[in-house]
Structure 1
Amino acid sequence: MKYFILCAIALVSCMGSGNRKGDETSYCFIRTDGTDQQDTTTVRFTIGADKLEGEMNWIPKEKDSRKGVLVGTIAGDEITAIWRYMQEGMEDSIEVAFKFSPNQLAQKPLKVNTNTGVQETDDDADYTLIYTPVGCDD
């Protein structure tokens, strides 16, 4: 009996309480737009518990791209994240909002704040930018 209790304690202590790699799930999405669907945005992230980490890349055909990382939280089906990206050699960040399901990702559009001239998420808008799922190439 003593050995059973020791084994049980050892097993429980090895399990830990933090996020384990097996508890994380990865998702990848793509969205194209423009007159010839020439502009592409990709979103790739991993969800572990209520945290989200990944990357988001906006690659328009004839403009400077924005490529960077996403870090945020998920509550129910709503994601709130900060997108830190590089564009024209400058670092910048913006808060982005998504509605998530494994079969679709929808984003609230961005707007320009007329007071600051800076892009921001349009909190009053619906989730109208629709992304479709794609395979994640690891």
Structure 2
Amino acid sequence: MQQENSIGLPPAEEPVIITKAYCFFNETSVANEPGKKDILELRLEISENIVEGYYNWLPTYKDQRKGSIQGILNDTIITGKYIFVQEGLTDTAKVKIILREKEAVISSPIKQLGIDAVIIRTDCR
């Protein structure tokens, strides 16, 4: 039985916000080194048009870059920011992510950061 509020009406139901998860993953073998791999992983959770997630670059021999994505979805394009840690330093970059059926295209106006990539869509684990 629902309790009534102070004016005698049943409480308003909380709106249900559906969150969808999208996952993307690239794995590249290191030349002439069996079992060694460089990995790119992107996970996005979208509620209405609000996007949160993470984007990690995990190379075998270089400093890794791990960080979070925050943005807004407009049609199939996410604009937002990427807050990441690399070589012990925290940095932020603007990003644009284009969502396609089988991939995500991520880019930043700061090309020297090496954020730009095409990442293959996969099932979320």
Task: Report what 1:64 is aligned to.
Answer: 63
Task: Report what 2:23 is aligned to.
Answer: 28
Alignment pair present for 1:134 and 2:122:
yes
Q: How far did 1:134 drift?
A: 1.7
User: Tell me, which stretches of 5 or more residues in structure 2 are unaligned?
Assistant: 1-8
Q: 1:80-91 residue pairs with structure 2 within 5 A?
A: 80-91=79-90
Aligned residues: 112
In 2, distance between residues paired with 1:74 and 1:34?
32
Deviations 1:91-124 (A, max 9, x none): 1111111110343211236513xxxxxx387xxx
User: Tell me, which stretches of 5 or more residues in structure 1 are unaligned?
Assistant: 1-8, 113-118, 122-127
- The AA in structure 2 aligned to 1:133 is R
Q: 1:1-138 residue pairs with structure 2 within 5 A?
A: 10=10, 13-16=12-15, 20=17, 23-33=18-28, 36=31, 38-108=37-107, 111-112=111-112, 119=113, 129-137=117-125
TM-score of the two chains, using structure 1 as the length reference = 0.68
Q: Are the aligned partners of 1:31 and 1:42 in contact in 2 as well (CA < 8 Å)?
A: yes
* % identity of equivalent residues: 23
- The AA in structure 1 aligned to 2:69 is L
Tell me how large the CA RMSD over aligned residues is.
Answer: 2.6
TM-score of the two chains, using structure 2 as the length reference = 0.74
